Structure 1
Amino acid sequence: MKKYILFDHDGVLVDTEFWYYRAGERALADIGVTLDKDQYLRDMAQGLGTWAQARAAGLDERTIDGRRGVRDDYYQRYLRTEAIEIEGVVEALTELSPHVRMAIVTTAKRVDFDIIHENRHVRQFMEFVLTREDYGLAKPHPEPYLTGLRLFGATREETLVVEDSSRGLNSAVAAGIDCAIVHNDFTKAQDFSRASHRIDTLAELMNII
């Protein structure tokens, strides 16, 4: 039986994965560089992202740093204007809350996380939130989830990670924690062979814990 759940955030609790990609795509398109989606997903699985292709296209670090700010502006605009709700999330968390302690471990930056949750009801279920500023090494390194275990004072065996990407899955596996992969159209083609569970919605977590 599981007593703790560590949730990834983007693609699991809110539908933001595509919009992060789209923001980077626009930031590079503004200067004539194409961001290939399939390569982006392969890079993300290795803990890389938008700028791997930018470097491959010959952009220098100063230009890339400038594009980061543009990407962030686009992304925050999308967060405020696009429909990023995932149906049934709050209902699933409500059902889970009497049975498990929950927290979020995300690679999102704190500023983006706070924008997303200005008017949402997810944080009320969480004992803590770890954003990218709260640990040294990002997924697929195990540090983010090991940090979550430490804050809970939990063992690996009594904890479940919920993810939607192979990068997050690899982080959980490296930390020695069972991982349930929830379906996400944006990441569905990634390798999830090491997942302990595959689910279509968070409502199915009640059958796992």
Structure 2
Amino acid sequence: MKKYVLFDHDGVLVDTELWYFKAGERALADIGITVDREQYLRDMSRGAGTWVQARAAGADERSISRQRAARDAYYQEYLRTRPIEIEGVVEALAELSHHVRMAIVTTAKRADFELIHEKRRITQFMDFVLVREDYELAKPHPEPYLTGLKRFGATREETLVVEDSARGLTSAVAAGIDCVIVHNEFTKTQDFSQASHRINALSELKDIVLG
């Protein structure tokens, strides 16, 4: 039985992965650059992202800095206006809260995270949240999940990570923590061969935690 669960956020608790991609896609379209989605997913799996393609297309750092700000603004627009709930998440967390302690370990910036959760009930179940500003090295480096272990005072063996991306899986594996991959349509083509379990919805997590 596991005692602690560290949740990734985007794509696991809220359906934001696609909108983050679309915000970057829109920002680069503003300067005439087309983003290849499959290449983006490959880049993201190793901790890179939109700006790899921008540089390859000849964008200079000044343009990238300007379009990064545009991407952030577009993303917050999408967070305010698009449906990002994942059905059954709150109910699954409520049930899990009777059996384990939980926290969120995310690469989301604090401003985006706070915007997402202004009117949602997810964080009430969490002991703490680690956002991008709370650690130095992002996923796929193990630091985010090692930081989560330290905050809980937990061992690797009694902890479970829940992720939806290869980048997050790599981070968890490098930290020595068992990782469950929950299905996300946007990241489904990534390599999840190192996952301990794969599930279609968080409602399936209870059986793994108690197993």
Q: Specify the alignment match of 1:57 in structure 2.
A: 57
Q: Which moved more, 1:56-65 or 1:5-14?
A: 56-65
> Match for residue 156 of structure 1?
156
Identity of aligned residues (%): 77
Superposition CA RMSD, Å: 0.4
> Tell me, what secondary structure is at the counterpart of 2:127?
strand
How much has 1:58 moved relative to structure 2? 1.0
State the distance in 1 between where 2:131 and 2:50 align.
19
Equivalent position amino acid for 2:69 in 1: G
* TM-score, length of structure 2 as denominator length: 0.99
For the residues of structure 2 that align with 1:134 and 1:178, how far apart are their CA atoms?
22
Matches within 5 A, 1:47-126: 47-126=47-126
Counterpart for residue 13 of structure 2: 13
Shift of 1:60: 1.0
CA-CA distance at 1:68 after TM superposition = 0.6
Distance in 1, matches of 2:130 and 2:52, equals: 25
* Residue aligning to 2:177: 177
Deviations 1:41-93 (A, max 9, x none): 00000100110100111111111010011000100000000000000000000
The 3-state SS of whatever aligns with 1:104 is strand
Which residue of structure 2 aligns with residue 205 of structure 1? 205
SS in 2 for 1:66: helix
Residues 177-196 of structure 1 correspond to what in structure 2 (within 5 A)?
177-196=177-196
Tell me the CA shift for residue 7 of structure 1.
0.1
Secondary structure in 1 matching 2:206: helix
Alignment partners' CA distance in 2, 1:53 and 1:130: 29
Distance in 2 between the 1:39 and 1:27 partners? 17
State the distance in 2 between where 1:67 and 1:130 align. Answer: 26
Match of 2:30 in 1: 30
Cα-to-partner distance string for 1:22-51 (whole Å, 9 max, x where unaligned): 000000001100111000000000100110
Structure 2 counterpart SS, 1:141 = coil
Distance in 2, matches of 1:49 and 1:136, equals 18
**4+ long deviations beyond 2 Å:** none
Q: Deviations over 1:100-151 (max 9, x none)?
A: 0000000000000000000000000001000000000000000000000000
Gaps of 5+ in 2: none
CA distance in structure 1 between the partners assigned to 2:206 and 2:72 by the alignment: 36
User: How many aligned positions are there?
Assistant: 209
Q: Give TM-score scaled by structure 1 length.
A: 1.00
